[in-house]
Amino acid sequence: MSDALRLGIAGLGTVGVGVVRIIQTHADMLRARSGREIVISAVSARSKGKDRGVDLSGYAWEDDPVALARREDVDVFVELMGGHEGAAKDAIEAAIATGKDVVTANKALLAHHGQAIAMAAEAAGRVVRFEAAVAGGIPVIKALTEGLAANRINRVVGVMNGTCNYILTRMQGAGLTYDQAFAEADGLGYLEADPNLDVGGIDAGHKLSLLSAIAFGTQVDFAGVELEGIGSVIIDDIQNADQMGYRIKLLGVAQMTGRGLEQRMSPCLVPQTSPLGQLVGGTNMVVLEGDAAGQIVLRGAGAGEGPTASAVMADVMDIARGLRLPTFGQPASTLRKVASARAAVPAPYYLRLSLLDKPGAMAKIAGALGEAGVSILRMRQHDHTGTHAPVVIVTHKTTRAALDMAIGLFAQTGVVDGDPVAIRIEEV
Amino acid sequence: MSDALRLGIAGLGTVGVGVVRIIQTHADMLRARSGREIVISAVSARSKGKDRGVDLSGYAWEDDPVALARREDVDVFVELMGGHEGAAKDAIEAAIATGKDVVTANKALLAHHGQAIAMAAEAAGRVVRFEAAVAGGIPVIKALTEGLAANRINRVVGVMNGTCNYILTRMQGAGLTYDQAFAEADGLGYLEADPNLDVGGIDAGHKLSLLSAIAFGTQVDFAGVELEGIGSVIIDDIQNADQMGYRIKLLGVAQMTGRGLEQRMSPCLVPQTSPLGQLVGGTNMVVLEGDAAGQIVLRGAGAGEGPTASAVMADVMDIARGLRLPTFGQPASTLRKVASARAAVPAPYYLRLSLLDKPGAMAKIAGALGEAGVSILRMRQHDHTGTHAPVVIVTHKTTRAALDMAIGLFAQTGVVDGDPVAIRIEEV
């Protein structure tokens, strides 16, 4: 039996408490599986006095996470505070500088500073692991970094924000408006303090940028993620999609193109019958496409105490067992810096627009599309009573550039009211 | 850069050729990700002259896989021959005895001799890895052993034989009889030389026994797997299930009960809307239920050159990267030998029987069920013309023992013709 592996845990919210609970209840099992005792030396959080439902009396307390990270009786610094600047960053840097391995659930921090942190860790011979940062309890970082290590990855696709999927599922299933479903999610405590992190696609975009780095051997490039939230999706879109055999999901897609790395986080139509189309509620799903393995689909809880703590502890167990990989699967110094290719890959699109009910209006729209080189797969004008007719168009595969040109031409026709909504159709 | 990792590959069928192809086409990527050159020193197969579509001229040739396993220029012996006795077993034992690590896709061998092989390897300080033995390209061994390492596993459920799922899917979708669907699968080359390995559930049972060992920390116990193939499923069962919102799958289920380890591989009804119910064709799916992570679903190709070679190479990459775990996730000497509990967990059942069309016949059946303590959820007699009426019964949750008692009582009623068919309903 080797020496015990000693943890310092910074952050005792839901996930931190979950980690403490696993270590307390499963000590024997963890030792049997890793060959080592996993112990907690010290913890840190904002409020020492708060009752968290677990016994912390056996652990040293630090008010300052940086002091925790520097403690001599800590082998692994477990960062569960969150935030992409400030204390979390300072503490991780201090941990690496004083020779600790790091386990973190902090997607925002790694999305912004992952390259620098990985470089520092590797220079110091330390590991930084982050299974819990992406898709909660699903071991997707491991599947990508290790399980598919011999694959050239063609594409990564995922639904990685459970709150957005909950909102879209409720609009679909219960016929709620976006505002109603948003309010319901809020009432259930599903939304971040800044809801735009969820519904604006930022949180999921952070996750996508981390998967991209591993999948394509590139430096994390969150700024290169094309971000579009779900706020523009209305109930009509959900219903139109349904009638055509699709569901709308906030979908992350990353793929290497001839023009650079394409990373998109945006609402997309996916076939109802596909695994992604069938995903309901707060569950997450990631699809990894390898040149040898083909399509691997992973599905599970994307958040919550147990699932996220499970992922944190998987990283801890790997360290206990002696697995030491570079943060993004290959040395950070070898990760390429590549151009970002916005919407480079052609796709069919769903278009919804409000047409003024004038003779020849439809012809003008069709003409604008034709002029931009966008061809029409289906076009439907809905029944209406007022002066505006809702029109839904599904295009053949086209580039986003051609589509934007067509939308620009719509404005000149004088028959389109307001901004058309364009949603990509992703075949997964 | 460390020294190269040198492989000896025994078996150059579909999977062996796939491994050679990955190493030849992705040498740079493998080196970037593992920090080491992955090279092939020598290969072995039945026929040296055969054109396999890959260039083998750079590798030494051995006619005898045992000689290959003993070569001094081999660090990792990759066993892709198959068969649970004979050459594959001899060669793996020779590899371990001469200080080699082992990667194998051989589920049958490990199902029968896994404990002995793991003990030998661990005594010699060698690792034996077998990601490719279960569910092809899906990194399920890794997910279970490492990704969920901090979870007490409650249950493992899986569709792990693509051929059976293909046959059942064709019966469901195209209305083929079992014999027609079997013949179609045979024509497509989906069946093993001994088809009973597939349709008898043996192949999938091998896989289940390996997952059980990891999940529950028990010695591999293939003899403890209750095996039932798909041969008794008729098109009426598929259609009856469909009408009630179910699909029939050859399902493996393993769970620890108060009376021991339950391992079943049998046709089951699963809800149409569940991920397992939606699985069509040759795809595999494994559901892992952890006490912290909850339900993790993994889906992907269960066979074929690319997927299986991807899994073999994942193991090779782990060894190249220095990951050294016990074969079944914890030292073989600590794996418990437990009793097998056949069908210990109660479940609802689907029953189909052929009733002689006599007055009071249904009452006698209902009486027999009542006497055995089995209560009826639904009971339906189908339209019929002849002297026999097809009857379908869905029970409430009951034990298999009670159900068997009821079936025994049916025989005494004098109104049931032939053997009733009982299929478990599994809520996943």
Q: Test B149 with A313 for CB contact under 8 angstroms.
A: yes
Give pLDDT, residue A387. Answer: 84
Same structural domain, A277 and A365: no
Q: Distance between CA A402 and CA B263 in Å, rounded?
A: 57
Q: Give the tokens for residue B159.
A: 């569709």
| CATH number of the domain to which A32 belongs | 3.40.50.720
Q: How far apart are CA A398 and CA A374, in angstroms?
A: 6
Is B286 a domain residue? Answer: yes
Lookup: tokens for A202: 């930022």
- Which residues constitute the domain of residue A212? 146-301
Angle between helices B27-34 and B14-25 (to 10 degrees): 80
Q: Which residues on chain A are in Cβ contact (under 8 Å) with B318?
A: 146, 149
Cα–Cα distance, A233 to A200 (Å, whole number): 12
**Do B296 and B238 fall within a single domain?**
yes
pLDDT band of residue B2 (cuts 50, 70, 90) is: low
Q: Which residues of A are catalytic?
A: 207
Q: Are residues B381 and B269 in the same domain?
A: no
The one-character DSSP state at B170 is H
Contact B292 A306 (CB under 8 A): yes
Question: What are the residues whose beta carbons fall under 8 Å from the beta carbon of A332, sequence distance 6 or more?
Answer: A115, A118, A119, A121, A122, A219, A326
Q: Which helix (H) or strand (E) holds B419?
A: strand B416-425
Whether A45 maps to a domain, the answer reads yes
Q: Which residue has the tokens 């969820």?
A: A198
Give pTM, 2 decimals. 0.96
Confidence of residue B282 (pLDDT cuts 50, 70, 90): confident
**CB nearest to B146's CB, from A142, A217, A292:** A142
Same-domain status, A285 and A154: yes
DSSP state of B383: P
Per the CB < 8 A criterion, the answer to whether A393 and A351 are in contact is: yes
Check if B207 is active-site.
yes
Please pick, among B207, B249, B337, B397, the residue that the annotation labels catalytic: B207
**pLDDT over threshold 90, residue B345:** no
B326 within some domain: no
The residue whose two tokens read 């470089």 is A119
d(CA B153, CA B294): 9
Query: Is residue A29 domain-resident?
Result: yes
**Which pLDDT score, from 0 to 100, does residue A1 have?**
45
Which one of B2, B321, B333 makes the best mutation probe of the A interface by having the most chain A beta carbons within 10 Å?
A: B321
The per-residue pLDDT for A2 is 60
For residues B9 and B103, give the distance between their C-alpha atoms in angstroms, rounded to a whole number.
Answer: 9
Residue A337: how many CA atoms within 13 Å on its side-chain side? 3
User: Among A104, A129, A158, which residue terminates a domain?
Assistant: A104
Query: Can you tell me whether residue B420 is helix, strand or coil?
Result: strand
Residue A60 dihedral angles phi and psi, to the nearest 5°: -65, 150
Average pLDDT estimate for B296-306 = 96
Same domain, A282 and A181: yes
Rg for chain B (alpha carbons), in Å? 24
Residue of A nearest to B293 (CA): A307
Per run of 10 residues, the mean pLDDT along chain A (length 428 residues) is 88 97 98 97 95 96 98 98 94 98 98 98 98 97 98 98 95 94 94 93 98 98 96 94 95 94 97 92 96 98 96 98 97 96 88 90 93 94 82 94 94 92 92
Count chain A–chain B contacts defined by CB atoms under 8 A. Answer: 189
CATH number at residue A253: 3.30.360.10
What is the rounded CA–CA span in Å between residue A108 and residue A84?
5
Cα-based distances in Å from B181 to B130, B168, B188, B191: 31, 8, 11, 12
User: Which residues in chain A are closer than 8 Å to B33, comparing Cβ atoms?
Assistant: 149, 217, 329-330
Residue B347 tokens, joined: 């479940």
Tell me which residue has tokens 């030396």. A41
CATH number of the domain that residue A401 is part of: 3.30.70.260
Give the residue from B226, B231, B158 showing the smallest Cα distance to B191.
B231
Q: CB of B190 within 8 A of CB of B162? A: yes
Give the span between the Cα atoms of B394 and B423, in whole angstroms: 10
B25, B33, B130: best to mutate for the A interface, most A CBs within 10 A: B33
Check: CB of residue A199 under 8 Å from CB of residue A228.
no
Query: Half-sphere exposure of residue A58, counting CA atoms within 13 Å on the CB side?
Result: 9
Residue A123's contacts (CB-CB under 8 Å, 6 or more residues apart) are none
Q: 3-state secondary structure string, chain A? A: CCCCEEEEEECCCHHHHHHHHHHHHCHHHHHHHHCCCEEEEEEECCCCCCCCCCCCCCCEEECCHHHHHHCCCCCEEEECCCCCCCHHHHHHHHHHHCCCEEEECCHHHHHHHHHHHHHHHHHCCCCEECHHHCCCCCCHHHHHHHHCCCCCEEEEEEECCHHHHHHHHHHHHHCCCHHHHHHHHHHCCCCCCCCHHHHCCHHHHHHHHHHHHHHHCECCCHHHEEECCCCCCCHHHHHHHHHCCEEEEEEEEEEEECCEEEEEEEEEEEECCCCCCCCCCCEEEEEEEECCCEEEEEEEECCCHHHHHHHHHHHHHHHHCCCCCCCCCCCHHHCECCCECCCCCCECEEEEEEEECCCCHHHHHHHHHHHCCCCEEEEEECCCCCCEEEEEEEECCECHHHHHHHHHHHHHHCCEEEEEEEEEECCC
3-state secondary structure of B62: strand
The token duo for A114 is: 């992952």
Examine the domain organization and report whether A229 and A355 are in the same domain.
no
Residue labelled with tokens 């879109």: A237
3-state class (DSSP) for residue B136: coil
Q: Report the alpha-carbon angle B128-B133-B138, nearest 5.
A: 110
Nearest to A211 by CA among A296, A319, A97, A270: A296
**Min Cα–Cα distance to chain A from B51, Å:** 22
- Distance between B144 CA and the closest CA of chain A, angstroms: 9
Residue A261 has phi, psi (to 5 degrees) of -90, 120
CA distance B264 to B158: 11
Residue that finishes a domain, picked among B266, B286, B302: B302
Q: Which residues of B touch A146 (CB under 8 A)?
A: 139, 142, 146, 314, 317-318, 321, 323
* A-chain residue closest to B15, CA distance: A292
In B139-189 the beta strands, taken as DSSP E runs, fall at 153-159
Stretch B106-115: mean pLDDT, rounded? 98
Pairing between strand B128-129 and B101-104? Answer: parallel
Q: Are residues A266 and A366 in the same domain?
A: no
Q: Do A318 and B293 touch (CB under 8 A)?
A: no
Q: Are A314 and A134 a contacting pair, CB within 8 Å?
A: no
- The encoded tokens of residue A313 equal 């502890």
Are B88 and B162 within one domain?
no
Torsion sign, CA atoms A114, A117, A121, A123: positive
**What 3-state DSSP class applies to B81?**
coil
Instruction: Tell me whether residue B314 is in a domain.
Output: no
pLDDT at B162 > cutoff 90: yes
Question: Are residues B303 and B282 in contact, defined by beta-carbon separation less than 8 angstroms?
Answer: yes
User: Which element (helix H / strand E) includes B267?
Assistant: strand B260-271
- pLDDT tens digits for B355-410? 998 888 999 999 999 999 999 999 988 777 788 889 999 999 999 999 999 999 99
**Cα distance between residue B127 and residue B323, in whole Å:** 9
Distance from CA of B156 to the nearest CA of A (A): 14
Task: Decide: A150 and B310 in contact? Cβ < 8 Å.
Answer: yes
Answer with the one of B302, B324, B358 that is the final residue of a domain: B302
Answer whether residue B131 is part of any domain. no
Residues making up chain A, counted from first to last: 428
Could you read off the pLDDT of B87-100 as tens digits, one per residue?
Answer: 999 999 999 999 99
List, as one string, the DSSP characters of B346-357: -B-EEEEEEEE-
Compare all CA atoms of chain B with the CA of A275 and give the residue at the minimum distance: B275
Q: Into how many domains does chain A fold?
A: 3
The answer as to whether B113 is a domain residue is no
pLDDT over 90 for what percent of chain B?
A: 90
Query: Whose structure tokens read 């931009």?
Result: A372
Shared-domain flag, residues A286 and A152: yes
Are A194 and A293 in a shared domain? Answer: yes
Count, residues in chain B? 428
Nearest to B109 by CA among B74, B72, B81: B81
Distance CA A107, CA B308 (A): 32
| Helix extents (H) in B299-360 | 305-320
B299 and A300 within 8 Å at the Cβ level: the answer is no
In a domain, A155, yes or no: yes
Task: Report the distance separating Cα A230 and Cα A185, nearest Å.
Answer: 14
- The minimum CA-CA distance between B312 and chain A, rounded to whole Å, is 9
Q: How far is CA A107 from the centre of its chain?
A: 9
Tell me the pairing of strands B260-271 and B416-425: parallel
Instruction: Return the residue matching tokens 């009826």.
Output: B376
Predicted pLDDT of residue B1: 45
Which of B148, B292, B289 is closest to A17 using CA atoms?
A: B292
> Do A279 and A359 share a domain, yes or no?
no
Tell me if B150 and A32 make a contact (CB, 8 A cut-off): no
Q: In this structure, are B258 and B183 located in the same domain?
A: yes
